[in-house]
Structure formats: C-alpha cells, structure tokens
Structure 1
Amino acid sequence: MDLALLVNPSAGGGRTLRLLEPVVRRLRTGGADVSVIVGDGPADALERACTAVAERPDALVAFGGDGLVHLAVQAVAGTEVPLGVIPAGTGNDFAAAMGLTGRDPVRAILRGRTRVVDAARIGPDEWFASVMCCGFDSRVNERANALTWPPGMAKYLVAAAGELRSFRPIAFRLTVDGEVAEHEAMLVAVGNTSSYGAGMRVCPTAEPDDGLLDVTILGAVGKASFVRSFAGVYRGRHASHPAVTMLKARSVTLEAPDVVAYADGERIGPLPLTCTVSPGALRVLI
C-alpha cells in the first residue's frame, strides 16, 4: 500500500509524536510504503494533504483527533482516495462512528476494507464529517479556545460554567429542505454522525450513510432544565425532552445574530450557513 500519513504533532497532548515511530514501523512491517505529512500549521498541512491526494495514494491516513480528520476530509471528500483514521485526539468522535475506537486502527488500514459514507458541505468550500453545532455549545468552544488553562477537557468545563451564567436563548431561523421555521433555542446541531465533544450523542439517530442529515433543536428552557437535559446527551436521553425537536433533511440553512458555528470541533464562522448532505462522498478504511 502507498499511504500518506497526516500527523498532528499536538494531538493528545503530544501523544502522536511519541507514537509516530512505532506506528510507522508497524505500517511498513505490514507492507505499506509510508510518507509522513506534518504541516507548519493547518493551512500548510491542508495544502500538503491535497498535494498527496492528487498523487492518488491508496489512502490518506489522519493520525490525530477530530480536528485533523476534519482537515483530511477537505482533501479526500469527493475523490476516490480512502480516508484512514488512527485516533489519537481528545474526542475521536468520527473514529468512534466508524467503529475504530477500542480496536486496532493500524490493522484496519492494512486490511484496506472500505465503507462508503456521506459527508456534508457547508457552503461551497467546506466539508464536515461528524456534527456542526451552533448556540450554547459553539459559544463554549469560543470561550474555551481563548483559555490557556486548564489543559484538555477541563477547560471546556470551565468555559461551560462561565457561558451558562450569561447565556440567553437565541432566535434561530431555520430553512429545512425549503421549509422555514423560527425557533427560540439553546442550540442547534446538524449531524452526519451521532456524536461530538468526546461522545455527546447530540444527534442519536444519525447514520453516516443514509443520505440525510439529522437536525437537533433544543428549544428555550430554564437553566436548571438545560443542565439536566444536556447532562443526558452522552446517552442520547435528551431526545425525549419536550423542548427537543429532531428532524432529518438533505439541506439546512441556519440564521441567527452573533452566532458562530463549529464543525468537527473546528471553527467554521458566523451564521448564516447552509449545510447540504453529499451522499457517498467519503470512502473510509474500517
């Protein structure tokens, strides 16, 4: 196999760098020809990944977390080059959706078995593979990204506590497959897969190969009710809350004032944005 291995040196607190040499050795022992890609930053890494994909390797392998998977998806979506994932980040939600966590991802790559799944476009230029969120959760991301301490997931807990004190429901306007509706909501999530944020199953019925996106709307609720319903998101229990609306769609446009969207954990930009499913846009090594 001819593999392009895209590496995020900072994923998992630097764990990828410590594991890089043994991972490459295992791949080469298994018969793969491996070229390692480490960019000087996200833009450089994406340019290098796109160059590698243009040379049609047997796979582009993302060795990192969901952020690196998001970057790799920009390079492989809509091509015949499969995406491999060696999960080494904090969340690894896409890898979990593909059944790669708790197993041997290197073996999966060497076997070369692929699954064809959907991806979603945001506007004309961006793709996402898992979940796009906006509202309370994206504002927590904005806060967390501005923090230098504490490290890891702890800073998201600090950011969530800070945001909860001042948060107010947001006036969203949604256009779902041409149907327009307005919602006062705490958050809106659009999912190609079910989870984000290290296992929060915000779109619990999402399937990555059904040609549809799942839309979860958590309507305006009091803060105590919001905390209780949000705490159940890891098991998808929020789905039964009376303030939660769940839809399926091929295209969703989201509009709201002063709201930024995140997808696959990466900052996309302010609303309005349109998400459109692209059936079968990804081939993933499983």
Structure 2
Amino acid sequence: MRVGFIVNPAARAGSGSALAQRVADRLRSAGVDVRTREPVDAAGTADAVRALSRDPGDGILVAGGDGTVALALRELRGSGIPLGIVPTATGNDLARTLGLGDRDADAAADAVIGRASRHIDLARVTAPDGRVSWFSTVLASGFDSKVNDRANRMRWPRGPLRYTIAILREFLVLRAIPYELELELPGGDTVRVAEDLLVAAVGNTRSYGGGIPICPDAAPDDGFLDVTLVRSAGRLRLLRLLRKVYAGTHAGEPEVSTYRVSAVTLRAVGVTAYADGEPLGSLPLRVDVEPGALTVFVPR
C-alpha cells in the first residue's frame, strides 16, 4: 500500500507535529509506503494535493483541521481518490462525523490501513460573480458566522472552548438580520422565506464549531442539505435555546425552522458566510449538494 501524507504548517507546530509523526510511524510499521509533503502555506497545501493526485497510490492523507481538509477536498472531489484525515486542529467536525476521535493517531492510521472507504456528499457554493467553492460540514451565516470570525481572531483558548467564549461575547451584541432565502425542496418545489434571523445554517453534516450540532438530522451521504433557521427571542429565552442547540434538541422549538433541500440561495446585507472554519464570501450565495463527490477513509 502506498499513500501521500500532507502535513500542514499549523499541524507541524506543537503537539500536532508529534501526532502526525505517530500516524506516519504506525503506517510504516504496517508496511505502508508513506510519501510525506510539508507545504509552507495554504496555497502550497493545495499544490501538494494536486501533485500527489497525479500519482496517488492508494490515497492521500492530510494532517490539520477542517480548513486543511477543505483545501484537499477541492482538489480530490470527483476523483475517487480516498482522502484520509488526521485531525490535529480545534474543530475537526468532519473527522468527528466520520468516527475519528480528536487527535487519535491510531484511529487515523488504522482507517487507512483497513482500506475501508465511504462516499460522502459535498456542498458547492456559487457567488454572483461565478466563483465556486466547496465545503464538507456546515455553512454558517448570521450570528454563527460572527462567532466564527471572532473565534478565528482569538489566540486563546484552543479547542471547542474557544467557540464557547466567542458565542458568549457575540451574544452580548446580538441582533437579528433581515434574510431572504430560496429553498429548493427534494420534490422540486421552491419555498421562499423572508424573515429577520439570528442564524441561517446549511449543513452537509450535523455539527460545526468543534461539535455543535446545529443541523442535528443532517447526514453526509443522503444526497441533501439540511437548513436550520433561528429567529430572535428574548435573551433569557435564547440562552435556554442555546443549551438545546448544544444538545441537538432545538429542532422542535418555536423559534427554529428546519428544511431538507437540494439547493438554497441566501441573501442578506453585510453577512459573511463561513464553512469548514474558513470565510466563503459575502451573501448572496447559492449552495447546491454534490452527492457522493468525495471518497474518504473511515474506521472499520
């Protein structure tokens, strides 16, 4: 068995470097030929994936978080080349969805050694100027995108606690935003929504922000996207609702609407959308599902 292994710059810092090395050592001890690449930035990571994909062997691994995975999936989508994930960052939402524990070197390596793979959907995002990008987890817009923006600026703490603190800080300046959405349902009908919203999230998977299940019924292989909309309420009520969001039990609440769609267009003024921990651009944006577009290594 032969694989490429890309270790992003952040993963080479601190404990991430030791984790990536443990994965490589475990693979080699199982007889896997590992070709390691260490790019210096995001552009180099994309270039490394592109170069390895021309002679991928049995698959390509990346060490990093959801942002690193996003760089890889844009190059590997539709290729059939299996992607292995070594979760070394703070979010790791796709890795968690696939059954890979946070910073679990043995599980990450064994998923490759076991050769078990799975096809999952991706979400394609199209801007008005035709620019296209993809994500694997959840698109956040509104309050949750502001949380992402704040969390990305924070140097401390690391891990999911960073998102919790960012949520609490943004909660102090919370306000609803006028949205217009066009939701294309599985049967072909279109639903139009015009409301003031706190959150408009589009999920290919259940969670973002290090495990917050904003789209609790989303599945990455069902050929659809899940949309969660949250309307405003009093602050005490919203604090209680926030607890339900963390538990994934918010879908039935009166302030929450959920939809299953094949595509959705989101419009709002002054809102930047985030997905996989990275900014996608300002609304309006259209999001479509690409069923089975990515092949990933998964635990047996």
TM-based fold match above 0.5? yes
Residue 123 of structure 2 is aligned to residue 120 of structure 1 = yes
Residue 147 of structure 2 is aligned to residue 140 of structure 1 = yes
Per-residue deviation, 1:53: 1.4
Structure 1: distance between partners of 2:216 and 2:155 = 32
Aligned to 1:4: 4
Paired residue secondary structure (2:219): coil
The residue type paired with residue 202 of structure 1 is I
Aligned to 1:202: 214
Which segment is superposed worse, 76-85 or 93-102? 93-102
Equivalences for residues 170-185 of structure 1 within 5 A: 170-177=177-184, 178-185=190-197
Structure 1: distance between partners of 2:159 and 2:223 = 34
Paired residue secondary structure (1:239): coil
Aligned to 2:250: 238
Residue 283 of structure 2 is aligned to residue 271 of structure 1 = yes
CA contact (8 A) 1:8 1:16 kept: no
Paired residue secondary structure (1:190): strand
Instruction: Tell me the alpha carbon deviations over residues 114-134 of structure 1, each in whole angstroms, 9 at most, x when there is no partner.
Output: 111111111153111111111
Instruction: Tell me the alpha carbon deviations over residues 34-78 of structure 1, each in whole angstroms, 9 at most, x when there is no partner.
Output: 112222111221122122113233211122222222222112111
Structure 2: distance between partners of 1:39 and 1:273 = 31
Structure 1: distance between partners of 2:66 and 2:291 = 20
The residue type paired with residue 172 of structure 2 is R
Structure 2: distance between partners of 1:23 and 1:209 = 27
Aligned pair partner of 1:169 in 161, 167, 176: 176
Per-residue deviation, 1:148: 3.5
Change (3 A) 1:155 1:201: closer
The residue type paired with residue 136 of structure 1 is F
CA contact (8 A) 2:141 2:273 kept: yes
Paired residue secondary structure (1:104): helix
Residue 291 of structure 2 is aligned to residue 284 of structure 1 = no
Aligned to 2:201: 189
Aligned to 2:226: 214
CA contact (8 A) 2:77 2:294 kept: yes
Per-residue deviation, 1:231: 2.0
Change (3 A) 1:232 1:14: farther
Per-residue deviation, 1:27: 0.8
Per-residue deviation, 1:149: 4.1
Per-residue deviation, 1:13: 6.4
Per-residue deviation, 1:31: 1.8
Aligned pair partner of 2:107 in 104, 108, 127: 104
CA contact (8 A) 2:91 2:159 kept: no
Which runs of 5 or more structure 1 residues have no equivalent in the other structure?
none
Aligned pair partner of 2:137 in 117, 130, 134: 130
Aligned to 2:83: 83
Per-residue deviation, 1:150: 4.4
Aligned to 2:270: 258
Which runs of 5 or more structure 2 residues have no equivalent in the other structure?
185-189
Q: Structure 2 length as normaliser, TM-score?
A: 0.89
